[in-house]
Amino acid sequence: MTKRTSQLPGFYKVTVAERRTLVSEATGVETLAIARSLDGGGLDAETADKFVENVIGTYGLPYGVTLNVRVNGHDHVVPMVVEEPSVVAAASNAAKMVRAGGGFAVEIDEPIMISQVQLTHVKDAAAATRAILAAKDEILAMADRAVSGLVARGGGARGLEVRTLGVREDEMIVVHVLVDCRDAMGANLINTVAEAVADRLASLANAKVGLRILSNLCDKRCVRVRCRVPADVLATDAMDGRAVIDGIVNASRFAELDSYRAATHNKGIMNGIDAVVIATGNDWRAVEAGAHAYAARNGRYEPLSIWRRDGDFLVGTLELPLALGTVGGTLRVHPSARLSLAVMGVTEASDLAAVAAAVGLASNLAAVRALATDGIQRGHMALHARSVALAAGANGAEVERIAAIIVEARDITVEAARRALDVVRADRPSSGQLSAASD
Ligand code: NAD
């Protein structure tokens, strides 16, 4: 059996075909399977037509892998689907720093989702609450019957909560049925439960049924990540590691005190998480909604991660709700999504959530370290230069050449790239041949 490693030195320097071979050797996934699941975006229009409505085609995005990720003592090569330059490189680089301190330690809650049933026209909220709580066992059994397949796999209803909302003249009751969704994200399962128990709840409460749907604020399904990074690996040419730690703690304090900064801080975390969520065919809107609602849980929008100094170490912690599935849903039958789980080496939803959250903390570390040292633009714009060169019309080998010219000139704009392209092409009149020969 392949011993999984996520350390593949020089990976970025080789061709796409060579990278597939290296990933195959590191993960045991055949190169043919990689090609079959990724070429053409892994999805044809006919299959896509079964997923959503009014399909006229599909839309490709880059599929990269983040390296060096070690979570609870296990290595993972982590697929990321993202259009933004530098996200994959930054996460790999930061994961390498975290690795020097032993990798990510992740704790994860049971996969409990919340099914919400709204009851309106409540005459006596206190009496309704008592009646519902007294019928708890009956309601949970009803919920289990509605999702018997899930119960057979070890999941099912786990608890009941009743909340009163609103003011006396406009009071409503919301019942939460808590359901263990095992390896599923759970939205459809939870909605099934809500619809199955709603009428009985309304009759117990002498009220009318309102909405019946899951909550995306799945705060009983949280992931907590911790890392401890030695100062020396954080150092840059201009700053020693201890000064970098001070800068990162300062960045963290800024986010803790200011919601404007916290939003951008959290965007840096979601750069990593969303890319993994999309690569594995999960619902990134649900993940985003849950993350930001959790960030605002104390009445003010706050950062999801905190950075502190511990002697000569930087300690980072991240906590957020994460409802991910390795089964169910439509997109998880997408060949590229199936491939991502195989490359990552995860089958259980809890392991997927642990890895995704770890990559989120890595992305955050990369961003705050860059901000605390060189500034974000240096690394980011150098990688962005390739997209700018493409936008200016560069082809094949021209792309790297034009990118290098505009980075050197510190003018990473489409106009500068067009001027550079004119000069390069004037030097070589047959630029069409140049790009064809180098492709
Ligand atoms: P699903 O409807 O496919 O249900 C999961 C199925 O997998 C169940 O039939 C279950 O019995 C089965 N299963 C097999 N092995 C399992 C295991 N080990 N653990 C758990 N279940 C197992 O999918 P879902 O997860 O209920 O719903 C996810 C979908 O719902 C996503 O596509 C999401 O986009 C969508 N959705 C989201 C929202 C929202 O977030 N607000 C609302 C509606 C729908």
Give the C-alpha separation, 42 to 379, whole Å: 31
Cα(333) to centroid(ligand 1), Å: 12
Q: What is the pLDDT of residue 431?
A: 41
Q: What is the pLDDT of residue 427?
A: 82
**Which amino acid, 214?**
L
- 117 touches 179 (CB < 8 A): no
**Is 238 buried (19+), middle (13-18) or exposed (0-12) by CB count in 10 A?**
exposed
- 172 touches 214 (CB < 8 A): no
Give the C-alpha separation, 97 to 233, whole Å: 6
Helix axes 136-146, 187-205, angle to 10 degrees: 140
Distances (CA, A) of 340 to 78, 99, 337, 360: 8, 22, 5, 17
Rounded to the nearest integer, the mean pLDDT of the chain is 94
Task: Report which protein residue has its CA nearest ligand 1's atom 9.
Answer: 149
With the most atoms of ligand 1 within 8 angstroms of its CB, the residue from 144, 180, 188 to mutate is 188
CA angle 182, 183, 187 (to 5 degrees): 85
pLDDT of residue 338 exceeding 70: yes
Cβ of 47 less than 6 Å from ligand 1: no
Q: What is the pLDDT of residue 7?
A: 95
Q: Is 63 helix (H, G, I), strand (E, B) or coil?
A: strand
Cα(192) to centroid(ligand 1), Å: 10
Contacts 24+ apart (CB under 8 A), 122-128: 122/171, 122/172, 122/173, 122/205, 122/206, 122/207, 123/206, 123/207, 124/206, 125/164, 125/171, 125/173, 127/206, 128/162, 128/173, 128/204, 128/205, 128/206, 128/207
With the most atoms of ligand 1 within 8 angstroms of its CB, the residue from 52, 110, 183, 185 to mutate is 185
* 175-230 tens-digit pLDDT: 999 999 999 999 999 999 999 999 999 999 999 999 999 999 999 999 999 999 99
74 in active site: no
Cα(398) to centroid(ligand 1), Å: 46
Question: Mean per-residue pLDDT for 409-424?
Answer: 92
110 in active site: no
Question: Mean per-residue pLDDT for 327-350?
Answer: 94
Cα(181) to centroid(ligand 1), Å: 8
Question: Mean per-residue pLDDT for 93-113?
Answer: 98
199 in active site: no
Give the C-alpha separation, 239 to 367, whole Å: 16
Give the C-alpha separation, 13 to 4, whole Å: 21
Q: Is 293 helix (H, G, I), strand (E, B) or coil?
A: helix
Give the C-alpha separation, 245 to 240, whole Å: 9
N-to-C CA span, the chain:
36
pLDDT of residue 373 exceeding 50: yes
Cβ of 277 less than 6 Å from ligand 1: no
Alpha helices in 218-258 (DSSP H): 241-257
Is the pLDDT higher at 59 or at 166?
59
* 1-35 tens-digit pLDDT: 567 899 999 999 999 999 999 999 999 999 999 99
Q: If we measure between CA atoms, which residue out of 268, 126, 139 comes closest to residue 201?
A: 139
**Is 158 buried (19+), middle (13-18) or exposed (0-12) by CB count in 10 A?**
middle
Q: What is the pLDDT of residue 429?
A: 53
Cα(317) to centroid(ligand 1), Å: 29
Structural tokens at position 393: 């019309």
Cα(329) to centroid(ligand 1), Å: 5
Q: What is the pLDDT of residue 439?
A: 30
Residue 168 pLDDT grade (very low, low, confident, very high; cuts 50, 70, 90): confident
| Rounded CA Rg of the chain | 25
What pTM does this model have? 0.90
With the most atoms of ligand 1 within 8 angstroms of its CB, the residue from 51, 114, 150, 333 to mutate is 150
Task: Report which protein residue has its CA nearest ligand 1's atom 37.
Answer: 187
How many other C-beta atoms can be found within 10 angstroms of the C-beta atom of residue 255?
Answer: 25
Alpha helices in 39-124 (DSSP H): 45-51, 87-100
The residue ranges of DSSP E strands in 260-388, in sequence order, are 305-310, 313-321
136 in active site: no
